[in-house]
Amino acid sequence: MAEKSIPAFVAYHKKNRRRLLKMDTVVHELHEEFSGKIDCLSCANCCRTLGPAIYDKDIERMAKALRIKPSEVVSSYLKIDEDGDYVFKTMPCPFLMPDNYCSIYEARPKACREYPHTDRKNFEQIYKLTVKNVTTCPIAYEVLSGLMKK
Ligand code: SF4
Ligand code: SF4
């Protein structure tokens, strides 16, 4: 995949609203296709290597699921990163189980639910993030590769 050509590709589509909408549609179709084909339970790269940003609502939900106080979630599992966000103290994620299941799946942070973000609207606003994610996530890789072939 020629990374350099992606900004040019997005810039070309940004010039025209119809082209932008079409790009979003193609990205979403590719997301659907490859989310269906790629088994996250055989991968779990994001849970092993990326620290999702964790917000107050995530902490409350996690605390409820774990039946502990929000302050205990913070003291036991979280630290503040260089951007001032809460992230997991340790990676791989402490909730990742040996079979790659998430032990707090229903209460997992929003960032975990949304990763790799390729079903979001306005791809032109997040393509840089997707470029970053191709080294971690096979879905992001396939979406971007597929898009560049169109
Ligand atoms: S890195 Fe991508 S393919 Fe792998 S588990 Fe995470 S979302 Fe699924
Ligand atoms: S909370 Fe669950 S989904 Fe999120 S990184 Fe940890 S194991 Fe993965």
Q: Which ligand is nearest to the CA of 92?
A: 2
Q: Is 38 exposed, middle or buried (0-12, 13-18, 19+ CB in 10 A)?
A: middle
Calpha distance 48→16 (Å, rounded): 39
The verdict on the CB of residue 96 being under 6 Å from ligand 1 is no
Give the pLDDT confidence score for residue 141 in this predicted structure. 96
Are the C-beta atoms of 60 and 90 separated by less than 8 Å? no
Task: Extract the tokens encoding 58.
Answer: 């995530």
* Closest alpha carbon to 140 in 118, 124, 112: 118
Are the C-beta atoms of 120 and 108 separated by less than 8 Å? no
| 46-56: average pLDDT | 95
Calpha distance 121→38 (Å, rounded): 21
Task: Extract the tokens encoding 81.
Answer: 């990163």
Tens of pLDDT along 112-127?
A: 999 999 999 999 898 8
Task: Extract the tokens encoding 124.
Answer: 């032109």
Of the listed ranges 2-16, 75-89, 123-137, the one predicted with least confidence: 2-16
- Band (pLDDT 50/70/90 cuts) for residue 139 is very high
From 88, 108, 115, the mutation candidate for ligand 2 (largest count of ligand atoms within 8 A of CB) is 108
Angle between helices 138-149 and 17-37 (to 10 degrees): 140
The verdict on the CB of residue 46 being under 6 Å from ligand 1 is yes
pLDDT tops 80 at residue 4: no
The verdict on the CB of residue 112 being under 6 Å from ligand 2 is yes
- In the three-class reduction of DSSP (H, G, I as helix; E, B as strand; rest coil), residue 20 is classed as helix
pLDDT tops 80 at residue 148: yes
Calpha distance 74→51 (Å, rounded): 14
Reported pTM:
0.89
Q: State what percent of residues in the chain have pLDDT above 70.
A: 97
Give the pLDDT confidence score for residue 14 in this predicted structure. 85
pLDDT tops 70 at residue 3: no
